[in-house]
Amino acid sequence: MRILRSFFQLLVLILLFAINVQAQNNTSTKEQKKEQLKQLLESKNYIFVAQSAYTASGRMIQLTSEYFLKIKGDSLESHLPFFGVAFNAPFSSTVSPLSFISSDFNYSMVESKKGRFEITIRLNEPDDPNVINLSVSPGAYADLRVISTNRQAMSFYGEVRPLEKK
């Protein structure tokens, strides 16, 4: 009986040790992934792929085509849809106002207390939209908000991925 109890105690100790080691490995893996994501966002070589859009009125639209915001160094390419009210729009425009290429913008990133990366892109050219806010979770899922002077704001949900090397 005493041998059985000693064996059981030893088994419990081994099990607790294995669980502790596994938890430490999971924590270090999460930290490594978060650090890799931070480096990706700081490198400015990534793409935000939109999966759904949210209008200012709260309507959610699942996106079936590939819509994106691509940051490649000092270049920004936006190919996003617009669903909403425009207060001032060009006559007979057939192109989405959120489809443009710019190299005149300011890029800043901070890490929030909750571990998210908050990126603010202030556009100088084109002059509308004005600001793009990208909030990225440690798992690389992101919310993108486009703020405009001449139309209602739009939000998108999707994920951040590294740019494919060609």
pTM score: 0.78
Nearest partner of 103 among 134, 74, 130, 131, judged by Cα: 74
The per-residue pLDDT for 113 is: 86
Q: What are the residues whose beta carbons fall under 8 Å from the beta carbon of 103, sequence distance 6 or more?
A: 74, 75, 76, 125
Nearest partner of 63 among 52, 72, 54, judged by Cα: 52
The per-residue pLDDT for 119 is: 96
* β-bridge partners, 121: 107, 132
- 123 vs 146: CA distance, rounded Å: 11
The per-residue pLDDT for 46 is: 96
**Per-residue model confidence as pLDDT tens for the chain (166 residues):** 677 677 667 666 676 666 665 655 555 688 888 899 999 999 999 999 999 999 888 889 999 889 999 999 999 999 999 887 777 666 556 567 788 999 999 999 999 988 899 999 999 888 778 899 999 999 999 999 999 888 888 999 999 999 986 5
Which pair of structure tokens corresponds to residue 58? 């709260």
